[in-house]
Amino acid sequence: MGTENPARPTFPSRPAVTPFSSTGPVAGSEPPSYRPTPAAPPPAATPFSSAGPAAARPGFRPAPPARFNDPSVAPPPRASTPGGPYQQFPAAPFPPTTQQQRGPIMGQASQAPPFPTSLPAQPQMPFVPMGSPPPQSAAPPHLGSNAPPPTFQPTFPGYPNKPPGAEMQPPPMHSNFPPNQGNYGPVPPAAPSPFMSHQGGYAPAPPMAPPVGMQPPASVPPMGAVQALAEDFNALTMQTRPGTMDPLFDPKELPRPLEGDVEPKILVDMYPMNCSPRYLRLTTSAVPSSQSLASRWHLPLGAVVCPLAEPPDGEEVPIVNFAPASVVRCRRCRTYVNPYMTFTEAGRKFRCNVCTLLNDVPSEYYAQLDASGKRVDINQRPELTKGTVEFVAPAEYMVRAPMPPVYFFLIDVSISAVRSGMIEVVANTIKSCLDELPGFPRTQIGFATFDSTIHFYNMKSSLTQPQMLVVSDLDDIFIPLPDDLLVNLSESRSVVETFLDSLPTMFQDNVNLESAFGPALKSAFMVMSQLGGKLLIFQNSLPSLGVGRLRLRGDDSRVYGTDKEHGLRLPEDPFYKQMAAEFSKYQISTNVYAFSDKYTDIASLGTLAKYTAGQVYYYPAFQSAIHGEKLRHELRRDLTRETAWEAVMRIRCAKGVRFTTYHGNFMLRSTDLLALPAVDCDKAFAMQLSLEETLLTTQTMYFQVALLYTASCGERRIRVHTMAVPVVTELADIYRLADTGAIVSLLSRLAIEKSLSQKLEDARTGVQLRIVKALREYRNLYAVQHRLANRMIYPESLKFLMLYGLALCRSTALRGGYGDVPLDERCAAGHIIMTVSIKRLLKLLYPSLIRLDEYLLKASVQADDLKSIERRLPLTGESLDSRGLYIYDDGFRCIIWFGRVISPDIAKNLLGADFAAELSKTTLGEHDNEMSRRLMRVLEKLRNTDRAYYQLSHLVRQGEQPKEGFLLLGNLVEDQMGGNSGYAEWMLQISRQVQQS
């Protein structure tokens, strides 16, 4: 699934340098004087590098290193800048050449081609002037010097590169909370913004441009005739060396997704009966009309499906029962009845919207048509008015009787598991959830434990306490008492509770180091194969005995950067993939909970979840006192959320297009049928679309997702999602209707899969090259009729794509190489990306950074004041004030950052008597004061926003090394840190490559 084309001449070969390397001078370090020297020609730009004195595109320069606003540190001497105390960028060494206004500035490059009139007009094409080649006299001294520019290395991982002696810049002392902190602020008149985003027409050049995408609607002029761009830029760039910042460029105006994921609403008016975007989202809400047009869309073309997503607030999925008749479907393509089917011949026939076949209406479903041609009972038929509906499936949709919900727990009881406290947390959590397990009174449950032997438990209802049965022969596994190892929970409730009460102490003196995980896995399969169900594995050590034993690998740094690197991220033993295939065949889904401070081989264990529609939970160095709450909440969510059992899913579309590849956790049973032994509301699946015919003649394309499953109540059901999208003939329409969230989700899965067959560097490069190709193609749409030299342009719909691409390349799953991320942690992060929904993924890539101290210090707090803290800040060090308290939330953990000079009252109220101690030894709990209770309410609100994972709180104080670096500073994706490109540098690299011919 490669995403690059080495044969294209426009892409330079990749040099042998570290990805995201930056050997140029540090941003903001200006040379003491300027000596005009001849400018050297810039070298060819390469992905993920900005090494050497490559010429930067004028008008756009990388961001300076992150600074904290710390009034306790004296400011370094610097020249005053026209932007006030928050203008962090150096002033121009000499004034720029005057820009001549020769005509009206065009904000939209060309008038959009004809499109369905009911489609709302969209904001178009913000563009970033990138300047023109520098004059020879403006070259900085280093370009003509033999001495290389200085390079500063970070002292701690995750800390920004700083020149010696550089100090943090203090804020003005007149206000505790500086205005426009971390938000879009007004651009000073002396430095007008190069970003302009006129949305749909032409306007005279404003004195200064507002941030991208922030224009008020009233300022949009009417659409005018297409005209040439009459604007020249002459010598706008004073510095072209990487690492320096043009004074006309303000990185604060780069587009940032501070509102999080925004579901697309563009087709609501055009197709009001479509299903909600939370169930089905396309990478672009339009289908190209030809293969040649599709080939020019270099981003993924496909869909992201979350079939059991929680419905929007106040809505419920309607359940339709056709009994005693069967479900109404097209007899040829098998599409289910939906709002886009039309009825003719007085209601006796209906035309399929997917294949256009005329079908007979079953007599039980017949209704007359009114004067407008609609059925008279349409308001009583939700399947004819709603895009999402659930049908009760008749007996013909069943291969066997509907299975009961089955939960089988396979628990590691070796010495490492006992010492970590994992067994006690698991046993107590399971016991607390027994009343909430779905499917009562049909639910079945069973347990097995293992170390060097396997222990089964007879929980027959006639017993007063469970009976342990030990199997020590690992080469010839057999099941003692096969009928009594899985029991009905309602019948054997007292025996199950007795077992869970005794489990934590049963093995408290165990000193066994071994793990017979493979044989235990085979025995669990033998117990569950009759019914299927959900297998929950709790593994604390590397499998060491019997079949499936694994060895320690991944310690050899020489493997990284070679063709053998990807092998570390693949399962070592084929046993696990073979077992996963057997599990899927017998409707067994596997969830893996891994706990260890040592290597556990998530790459191998995760295979069990990958092919059985399961999930991987990873708790490195688990200790119950620290991580117990996270395990407790996530296990409870896993056990109590509504689950669809023994499911299969298919997505249908009209003739001429088809889905070719699928990405996620499942087993592909046929070319388009996904086998999902158990699926829930937290799982998402992605798929790529291709055109089979050279030219599509229809005006509308229909997609229908159908999930056939067994509900926990024992009813067989079919959940159906239907969506209609237009077929377009112009590339501009495809870009205008693009959905960044769906694109990033599919692009992320493709990158993870590429890392399983190629190097990490190749996966990162593939992400960047696809973005470059897409932006270059968009630029070419307007390059002929407009003068767009040295400008970076992009559609409004994709304004966040570049930042998400950078965040993906710097994510735990893809960043760096050996030594940057532990192998198990990298593999676990990859499994998360392959399963999560779009909203959760985007928050993981670009987390929330929120300032809290102002809210905590308020004299009185109203209910609505919690909303005021939701104002997210850019992920850069400049957003952090040394007097403040901040919370960083990526949906999986919360980092609470205490500034160095934060008010002692805040620290004391939140931390109690330990407020002056090292925060790594301090736990956050609720104290008897209003400030502490407010913080707890904030954390509760963040955790309730998305309950799939529990955000464990980590406390860190400014300057607490190296904890601050790897917990927070290394995750500020907009800053250039640890050899990784920052946002501005990344945009500069992309701009250079886009403008290459």
pLDDT tens for 519-542 read 999 999 999 999 999 999 999 999
- Residues 700 and 726: beta-carbon distance below 8 Å: yes
53: preceding bond cis by omega (within 30 degrees): no
Say if residues 455 and 510 touch (Cβ distance below 8 Å). no
Burial 47-86 (b: 16+ CB within 10 A, else e): bbbbeebbbbbbbbbbbbbbbbbbbebeeeeeeebebebb
Range in 196-210, 231-245, 751-765, 945-959 the model is least confident about: 231-245
Looking at mean pLDDT, say which of 21-35, 111-125, 384-398, 855-869 comes out highest: 384-398
Q: Which long-range contacts (CB under 8 A, 24 or more apart) does 209-213 make?
A: 210/184, 211/184, 211/252, 211/253, 211/255, 212/126, 212/253, 212/254, 212/255, 212/799, 213/123, 213/126, 213/255, 213/796, 213/799
Q: Are 538 and 417 in contact (CB under 8 A)?
A: yes
Residue 722 DSSP SS3:
strand
3-state DSSP assignment of residue 154: coil
Q: Does residue 716 surpass a pLDDT of 60? A: yes
Cut 0.95: pTM above it:
no
For residues 423-447, give the mean pLDDT. 96
Would you say residue 295 has pLDDT above 60?
yes
State yes or no: pLDDT of 739 exceeds 90: yes
- Strand-pair partners of 728: 288
- Does the pLDDT at position 703 exceed 70? yes
Query: Residue 861's pLDDT band (boundaries 50, 70, 90)?
Result: low
Could you please report the per-residue DSSP string of 566-590? Answer: GGGGS-SSTHHHHHHHHHHHTTEEE
* pLDDT for 556: 74
* HEC profile of 203-223: ECCCCCCCCCCCCCHHHCCCC
Distances (CA, A) of 485 to 280, 423, 492: 40, 20, 11
Cα distances from 962 to residues 501, 923, 966, in angstroms, run 41, 19, 7
In whole angstroms, what is the distance from residue 465 CA to residue 758 CA?
Answer: 53
Residue 313 tokens, joined: 């607030």
Mean pLDDT of 140-164: 39
Cα distances (Å, whole numbers) of residue 983 to 199, 250, 939, 973, 987: 24, 12, 29, 7, 6
Of the pLDDT bands very low, low, confident and very high (cuts 50, 70, 90), residue 864 is: low
Whether 44 has a pLDDT exceeding 70, the answer reads no
**Helix, strand and coil percent figures for the chain, each rounded to 5:** 25, 20, 55
Return the percentage of the chain with pLDDT > 90, whole number. 57
